């Protein structure tokens, strides 16, 4: 289901962060463009902070952050089944988000 940018209900109050996460979700949905070679790479879930799945189930994506050079700490991890998680502390914690809701 395609959602127009800015229409997703995301659990953030900061409008800038909402826009950055929304933009990344748009790129994931359309297959890019991605600025970092690791975007779309396997996320292995070594620490078990996400539900355990077979290897290769999860993919990671960089959330571009204003004022930060490089990849920064924000990521989206998406499972093959569409479940989507956001981390703003480089995988130390996750919140589940629904990229299809609006």
Of residues 60, 64, 83, 92, which has the active-site annotation? Answer: 60
Name the residue among 83, 82, 80, 66 with its Cα closest to residue 21: 66
Query: What pLDDT, on the 0 to 100 scale, is given for residue 14?
Result: 83
pLDDT, tens digit (0-9, with 9 covering 90-100), for 24-63: 999 999 999 998 999 999 999 999 999 999 999 999 999 9
Of residues 29, 44, 90, 92, which has the active-site annotation? Answer: 90
pLDDT, tens digit (0-9, with 9 covering 90-100), for 6-17: 467 777 778 888
Indicate if 36 belongs to the active site: no
pLDDT, tens digit (0-9, with 9 covering 90-100), for 52-63: 999 999 999 999
List, in order of start, the domains of the chain with CATH numbers: 15-46+55-97 (3.10.450.30)
Indicate if 64 belongs to the active site: no
Please state, in angstroms and rounded to a whole number, the distance separating the CA atoms of residues 31 and 25: 10
Q: Could you tell me the CA-to-CA distances from 88 to 50, 74, 81, 95 in Å, in that order?
A: 15, 4, 22, 9
The secondary structure of residue 11, as a DSSP letter, is S
- Model-level pTM? 0.86
Query: What pLDDT, on the 0 to 100 scale, is given for residue 7?
Result: 61
């Amino acid at each position: 289901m395609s959602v127009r940018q800015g229409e997703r209900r995301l659990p953030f109050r900061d409008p800038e962060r909402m826009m950055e996460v929304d933009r990344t979700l748009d790129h994931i949905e359309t297959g890019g463009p991605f600025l970092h070679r690791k975007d779309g790479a396997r996320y292995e879930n070594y620490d078990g902070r996400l539900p355990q799945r077979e290897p290769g189930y999860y993919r990671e994506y960089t959330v571009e952050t204003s004022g930060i050079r490089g990849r920064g700490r924000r990521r989206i991890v998406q499972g093959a089944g569409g479940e989507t998680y956001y981390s703003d502390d480089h995988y130390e914690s996750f919140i589940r988000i629904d990229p299809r809701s609006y």
